Structures are given as C-alpha cells and as structure tokens.
Amino acid sequence: MIDFSLTDAQRDVQRTARAFAEREILPRIHELDSTATYDRSLYEKMGAAGLLGLPIPERYGGTGMDYIAFALLCEEMERADTAFRVILSVHTGLNSLTLLQWANDDQKERYLIPQARGEKLATFGLTEPGVGSDAANLSTTARRRGETYVLNGSKVWISLADTADNFLVFATLDKAAGHKGITAFIVERGFPGFSTESLHGKLGVRAGNTGILYFSDCEVPAANRVGEEGEGFTIAMSAIDQGRYTVAAGSVGLAQACLDASLKYAHERKTFGSEIGEHQLVKQMLARMYAGIEAGRLLVFKAGWKKNAGERNSRETSLAKWFCTDHAVASALDAIQIHGAYGYSDENPVERYLRNSKGSVIYEGTSQIHTLIQADYLLGYRKDKPLRMPQPPYEGEM
C-alpha cells in the first residue's frame, strides 16, 4: 500500500519547525546574512527546542522521530535560510547519526547524548585542501603512539569550524593503502595541537560559520577512535548518505521559498494593466518551480522510506540530492527573473536564495559526481553491497 499522507506526529514537526523559523530566524536573517554574522544562540535555541536530536532515539537524548519527519524539519529550516539546514546536515546528519550507527556505548554516552540534547554542537571533517570528491586520497595523517593517535594535516570548508565542540574527522594511517588506510576519530575542541580558523567572503550561507581545521601533532585518545582502524572510509560514506539526504530535503524548502516569494510578487506587480501572473511566461516559470518541488519531495520521501526500513539507500539519496539541488538553483534563477530588478538586490530574499542555492550543487558530491553515480548504477558498473551495519531504525511514532 502506498500512502502519501503525513502522520499527526510528522505534521507536528512541520508546524513546530515553521513556527520556530518564523519566530527566531526570519525576523533576523536579512541582518545576519548582509553582515555575515554567525549567532550561535540561534543554534542553541534549536537544540533547546529538540530540533537537533529529532531522528536520534530517546535513549540517546533525542526525540526518536523517523526520517520523513527529519526531512520535513530540514525543508522548513532551509525555507527560512540555508544556514539553519546546514547545522542539521553537519551536527545531526553527518555527525550524530553516524555516531548512532558506528560509535561504541562509551562514545555514545560521552558525545551522542549531549549532542542530541543540543548541549554540545558537533560537525564533520572530511574535505581537505585539494581533496574534495576524491575522498579516499586524504593527506591528513594519524599514527598510533601508545594510547593516543597523533594527527597532522588540515580540513577546509568545514561548517561550524570555529564554534563546534566536537568534530568527527578522518585521517589516514597508511596513505599507500588508499581508502583502506582511513580511520575515523572524535576530536574535541581544546585537544592539544588542534585549532580552527573561520573563512570569510563566501558567496552564500553567510549566516553560518565555515572554516578550516588544523592538526599539528594533535593528540587524540585511542578511546576516541570510531570503529576499527581502516574502517574510516566506510564510515565516511555512510555519513555522507545522511548528509546528502538532509541537503536534498533542504533544497526542496529553498525551492518552495522561491515559489512562495514569486507567487506573492506575481500578484503584487502589475504591467500592461494586469498582474504579471497573468503573463504566460511567468506562469511557465511558476509551474516549473511547482513541478520540481513535488517531484523532489517525492524523491526525498522515497529515500526516507528506505532509511526508515533500514535498507541501503545510496542510489535513491544520490538521485534526490542531484535533482533537488539542481532544481533549487533553477528555481532561484526563475524567481529573480520574475522579480526583475527587485530580485537583483537584497530588497527581496530571492537574491539570497540564489546565493545560497549554489553551494548545494557543490558540497556532498557535485551535480557532476551524482550524474556519474546514477549512470554507473544504470550501466551496472556500481552496485551497493549490503550494509555492514544496518541503518538504525527510528524509534517513536511515525
């Protein structure tokens, strides 16, 4: 049976997220974006509202909601601004859900629980200078020294770099071993040899913090290794499936924001004696936005359905990420076209939507990478192996 209706619990999440965005984010986002100001207090409020641990089981400090509810949360946050979906991507998707799947009991107690409660902020460090799509070719190294690992290298384009408390990072124990040499570690801010720096001058997501991580003989306790030595690449790829899911869902929200603004303006603006919404080519752009939103949301929900069932979803999540992010960019371009000169300035939010949309077709796998992934599935060159560890099922009402 196929049922496209949302449950009462899912609708509650949607309403709660939208109310939070309208109360806490929208009144301030123009100022935060235009001044490139990061305000950690807004993220702390998200944590206090239970939004940062939504898909984490209650026994680990979360709310225990399913992945469809999580997608709705991501959609509503990015409908307000991308920076607030980004924290759900890095804190919840890439870090906390990865710890839920791969961390041991002690690590879950020390890190996952306070993160799910919103008491600590967390992020994910894989990308390096010169290493983006080729994630198996890491330069950051780790070597075992007694009961510690010593890390050297750097990570770049890391969201929450200068504000997160905990970092899930990846380093190679043996570069010659390729992806089989990569290992995952939990690094705390304040560990000896670890420092961070903010990046400035970003095109978009200006209300969020992005930066660089530096490891200079950084000492990490062996107890903070996640999984076994050499399992890091597998762990990273499972994390990226979570991250891509959040990006896809958020991009639906960004496209929806573009449509909302464009519909409003199409009624307000008059040319040649009628609303511009009466003009056929404006109608075409509005209809195109709507069609892509509906299709994208269904792709996200299909991936979420498989995640709820604990099934491998790399193919479905990749397709959703590719389609939804490309559509968000197209919707933002059309929204600016509909607004005309007013869309070209920050007088209307569609200018911010376009700047924010461009990042999503780059991070978590470029659109070109996802094109290749989908083609390789079709040609039979790429086949998913069964999950070594099943996707953790949600706990709670769906």
SS3 (DSSP) at 12 = helix
**In degrees rounded to 5, what are phi and psi of residue 354?**
-65, -45
CA distances (Å), origin 314, targets 197, 304, 325, 382: 32, 11, 16, 11
Catalytic residue among 231, 364, 395, 397: 364
Assign residue 146 a region (left: φ > 0; alpha: ψ between -120 and 50; beta: otherwise).
Answer: left
How does DSSP classify residue 84? H
Whether 55 and 118 have beta carbons less than 8 Å apart is answered as no
User: CA 29, CA 188: separation in Å to the nearest integer?
Assistant: 30
Calculate helix-pair angle for 67-80, 232-268, nearest 10 degrees. Answer: 50
Can 44 be counted among the known catalytic residues?
no
How many Å separate Cα 225 from the centre of its chain?
A: 23
Calculate helix-pair angle for 314-339, 280-308, nearest 10 degrees. Answer: 160
Beta strands in the chain (DSSP E): 122-125, 141-145, 148-159, 166-172, 182-188, 194-198, 210-221, 225-226, 270-271, 274-275
Whether 359 and 204 have beta carbons less than 8 Å apart is answered as yes
Tokens of 227: 């999984």
How many Å separate Cα 222 from the centre of its chain?
A: 28
Q: How many CB atoms lie within 10 A of CB 123?
A: 27
Q: What is the 3-state secondary structure (H, E, C) of 312-380?
A: CCHHHHHHHHHHHHHHHHHHHHHHHHHHHHHHHCCCCCHHHHHHHHHHHCCCCCCHHHHHHHHHHHHHC
CA distances (Å), origin 397, targets 13, 60, 92, 94: 12, 16, 19, 23
User: CA 159, CA 142: separation in Å to the nearest integer?
Assistant: 22
Residues with active-site annotation: 364
